[in-house]
Copies of this chain bind each other. A is one copy, B any other.
Amino acid sequence: MREVFHQSLEDLQSRLVEIAELVTVSIDKATRAFATSDVALAEEVIADDAKIDELAVALDEQAIEILARQQPVARDLRIVVTALRVSASLERMGDMSEHIAQLARLRFPERAIPKGLKGTFVKMGELDVEISRTLTELLRTQDLKFADAIRNADDDVDELHASVFEKVLSDNWKGEAVATVDATLASRYHERFADHAVAVAKKVVYLATGDWHVEEEDIALAVEQQEQLGHA
């Protein structure tokens, strides 16, 4: 019975890793489609999002099945509830990729990235892809140093997000309304993508520490503790 149960938990974990891998593919394709106005690539991202949604629903069903049949308690219960929360965040990350791809498709054959912001969005896209890869490693290994790396990369995304508004609201912004709308939405989607990754990182920290209410500064603390305990 215990063995069956631990098999189910491992299965939940590998499903999360699988979804995170698909999210990484989707944000990578979406940001490339957005940078290069590649409408075929954008279409792929939009089509692939259904797969991410489906896997998230299947994972949720399995988690509820585990709750019903195996009635886990203590740490095991926390793992299952955390899996439900993480799948919801991954699903939303997939939605953000899809929204970015939709912007690229909507403006085609024009370029969706407004003039003067190309470098910023390319950098934001690279950071989101890196965050998604790091998140996959975090889910695979539960090594909290990855949670810390996500939080740091999110700070960089937030800075770029702020710089987009600075640029758009500056006197030398010559973009038309459509460029302003695109910059605003695209920046928000990139920023939300990273935010969801931080939310997942907090949940994994919760799992390691037992503290539901994880603040950003607690991540670094938890990493230290894990290192001291020799888990990392």
Contact = CB atoms under 8 A, between A and B. Distances in A.
A64 interface: yes
A7 interface: no
A84 B88 CA distance: 12
Nearest to A185: B184
B57 A81 contact: no
Copies of the polypeptide in the assembly: 2
Query: Interface extent on A, as a size class?
Result: 20 to 34
Given A169-B177, A178-B169, A60 B184 contact: no
A16 to B, nearest CB: 17
Interface in A192-232: 212-213
A68 B61 contact: no
Contacts of A85: 84, 88
A47 interface: no
Interface of A is mostly: helix
A74 B65 CA distance: 10
A188 B185 CA distance: 9
B57 A67 contact: no
Nearest to A184: B184
Interface in A82-135: 84-85, 88
A144 B126 CA distance: 44
Contact of A73 (B68, B77, B175, B213): B68
A117 to B, nearest CB: 12
A141 interface: no
15 contacts: A57-B212, A64-B81, A81-B84, A84-B84, A84-B85, A85-B88, A88-B88, A165-B181, A168-B177, A168-B181, A169-B178, A173-B177, A177-B180, A180-B184, A188-B188
Interface of A: 57, 60-61, 64, 67-68, 71, 73-74, 77-78, 81, 84-85, 88, 165, 168-169, 173, 175, 177-178, 180-181, 184-185, 188, 212-213
Given A57-B213, A85-B88, A165-B181, 13 more contacts: A64-B77, A67-B81, A68-B74, A71-B71, A71-B73, A168-B177, A168-B181, A169-B181, A175-B177, A177-B180, A180-B180, A180-B184, A184-B184
